[in-house]
Amino acid sequence: MAEFLNGWKRSHHCGVPCESELGQDLTLMGWVDGKRNLGGLIFAYLRDRSGMMQVVFDESRNDRATFEKAEGIRSEFVLAVKGVLARRAPEAINPDVATGAFELLVSDFKILAVSETPPFMIDDDSETNEMLRMQYRYLDLRRPVMQRILALRHRIAKVARDYYDAQGFYEIETPILGRSTPEGARDYLVPSRVYPGQFYALPQSPQQFKQLLMLSGFDRYFQIAKCFRDEDLRADRQPEFTQIDCEMSFVEDEEDVMAVHEGFMAELFRKIKGIEIPLPLPRMKYAEAMARYGSDKPDTRFGLELVDVSDIMGSTEAQFLKDAIAAGGSVRAINAVGSADKLSRKEIDKLVEFVKTYRAKGMSWMTVTADGVKSTLAKFMTEAQIASLLERVGAKANDTVFFVCDADDEVVFAALGALRLELAKRFDLIDPDRFDLLWVTEFPLFEYDAEDGRYYAKHHPFTSPKLEDLDKLESDPASVRAKAYDMVLNGYELGGGSIRISNQELQKRMFRALGFTDESAAERFGYFLRAFQYGAPPHGGIAFGLDRIVMLMAGTNNIRDVIAFPKTQNASDLLTQAPNAVDDAQLAELGICIDKRGTE
């Protein structure tokens, strides 16, 4: 049934023909997007990546063989169609289709491929289960919304290449097969056949190679780089992802790097969204972001800011509050303005359980009414303390104030930061058409892991500390700030970077602070450290998450929507059924023996 083109050439895409082509002979090619048979007339939409065009088969105009063949076409058949472009009757115009004022009067056509009935409708209104869509991803990608998203991804990548080229950056590829340096997320390992028992690692980022390129004298580098991390997944994370990776030489101040890369973001919004982003972007220190928003990637499109009420609540008779503050923690609050008549006790109880998932032991609340306040905390407080509290948080009648306390401020920030976002969604406080960009700066250089009893680099071990904090590197590492910066958009980290350590002695001090001996540092990073003995310029850079940028600009909240062939939440590929077992001969060639105990 399928036919060959036999010299037919496409003259136009389906969504392109317009007024100037009326009366002309056109040749269109695409997929059938539904058909209506009205007896002597058959109407079908032909779809390609540009859009759709209605094609008309007319028994009075087409020969019998052509019309009978048209009666046999079905959805998702692939056709090549010749005909004359005509204007539709006014009452037949379809305003929902870009070419809805036109139709192609078919003179001849070929069936290039037939199709079985798809397992789901190929349209944007389909509510098909995501797992089924990923199993048949090639069909899911035919949906217009997916075509638009991947076209958007292409345009974003092109803007990146054009912008960084104009700024003097060279696009240079770095290796995919490299050395494992376990520090951070888990590596994906690749066994070597040539060196039995040894492994390559897939890159978590091109970090070391891009720094080596600066040592090599290339001055400015960028790459749209594939990266891999074996970590727990969520809606905005994938095991393999894409970065717009950048590095530049002869910079020592964070502002030198930030100015170049916020220019890229302004260019991106101008060309992709038609939005002018005022520069410079706002700067917010990490400590301020945590104190006000409970997050190092704050969504600043709405209020509900955290308020420290430790001094007031610590003076009450509530012993559990006193204990948390005495242990070095705090009591902080959020005032949910105008929420008292919208939140039932049952809903408040659900919010209490919600914050517990962020390690909070519980949550207290206070409802403000015209007659006073209702709260289990009120019995521990004097009228003056209550008045002082309400003034501090700006609470008035019909407001609800939520409190979290803990001996660990990180728990307080995490719980209230998550509650803040939950309340904003519940009360529809977020404008989806608003884009709030800012830089978060002065991150801690280290984070402490109580289980391991050691410090880890909050970013990576090559991040430079603030020079004014160098004297605290050994004596008080928890208070050392990094020359690091993250660009944040609407509560998502778009990209992060830092000024790197280019001084050999400082790098040794950094490794020692992280618990490395000179020998263990040399074992893991020897080739990298050796390069710094041959003249390293001061340098710094950033990496943007391309997938996340596309996700936010496309208006979706699922990163799988913006990747052509993504993995599921459990890192499997339903389309190709990866990962999969391999046969014993392949394993033997690699010198690998699988321990199957407990898997059968």
Q: What is the DSSP string of 415-433?
A: HHHHHHHHHHHHTT---TT
pLDDT value at residue 175: 97
Average of per-residue pLDDT values in the chain: 94
Model pLDDT for residues 67-107, shown as the tens digit of each residue: 999 999 999 999 999 999 999 999 999 999 999 999 999 99
Percentage of the residues of the chain whose pLDDT score is greater than 90: 87
What DSSP state is assigned to residue 378? Answer: G
Instruction: Give pTM, 2 decimals.
Output: 0.93
* Cα–Cα dist 128/119, whole Å: 9
- The predicted model gives 402-427 an average pLDDT of 96
Question: What band does 598 get if pLDDT is binned at 50, 70 and 90?
Answer: low
pLDDT value at residue 599: 55
pLDDT value at residue 182: 63
Q: What is the largest CA-CA distance in the chain?
A: 94
The token pair that represents 153 in the structure block: 């991804």
Tell me: pLDDT of 306 over 90. yes
Is residue 122 within 8 Å of 49, Cβ to Cβ? no
**Alpha-carbon distance values, 15 to 49, 82, 91, 145, 407 (Å):** 8, 15, 21, 14, 61
Is residue 25 within 8 Å of 105, Cβ to Cβ? no
pLDDT value at residue 454: 84
Model pLDDT for residues 558-595, shown as the tens digit of each residue: 999 999 999 998 899 999 999 999 998 999 999 898 88
Is residue 87 within 8 Å of 22, Cβ to Cβ? yes
Q: Is the dihedral of CA 197, 200, 202, 205 positive or negative?
A: positive
Identify the bridge partners of residue 535 per DSSP, sorted by sequence position: none
Helix (H, G, I), strand (E, B) or coil at 529: helix
* Cα–Cα dist 553/435, whole Å: 9
* Cα–Cα dist 243/344, whole Å: 45
pLDDT value at residue 391: 96
- The predicted model gives 524-550 an average pLDDT of 94
Model pLDDT for residues 399-413, shown as the tens digit of each residue: 999 999 999 999 999
Tell me: pLDDT of 265 over 60. yes
The token pair that represents 149 in the structure block: 């998203």
Tell me: pLDDT of 600 over 60. no
Model pLDDT for residues 331-370, shown as the tens digit of each residue: 999 999 999 999 999 999 999 999 999 999 999 999 999 8
Backbone angles phi, psi at 440, to 5 degrees: -105, 130
Taking alpha carbons only, the member of 206, 193, 204 closest to residue 229 is 204
Tell me: pLDDT of 185 over 90. no
* Cα–Cα dist 550/489, whole Å: 12
- For the chain, how big is the Rg over CA atoms in Å? 30
Is residue 251 within 8 Å of 257, Cβ to Cβ? yes
pLDDT value at residue 452: 79
What DSSP state is assigned to residue 477? Answer: G
Strands (E), 49-184: 51-58, 78-87, 102-113, 170-171
* Cα–Cα dist 345/340, whole Å: 10
* Cα–Cα dist 173/285, whole Å: 33
- The predicted model gives 156-164 an average pLDDT of 98
For Cα atoms 424, 243, 300, give the angle at the middle one, nearest 5 degrees. Answer: 20
> Count of CB atoms within 10 A of residue 136's CB?
17
Model pLDDT for residues 9-64, shown as the tens digit of each residue: 999 999 998 899 999 999 999 999 999 999 999 999 999 999 999 999 999 999 99
What DSSP state is assigned to residue 5? Answer: -
Model pLDDT for residues 186-201, shown as the tens digit of each residue: 899 999 999 999 999 9
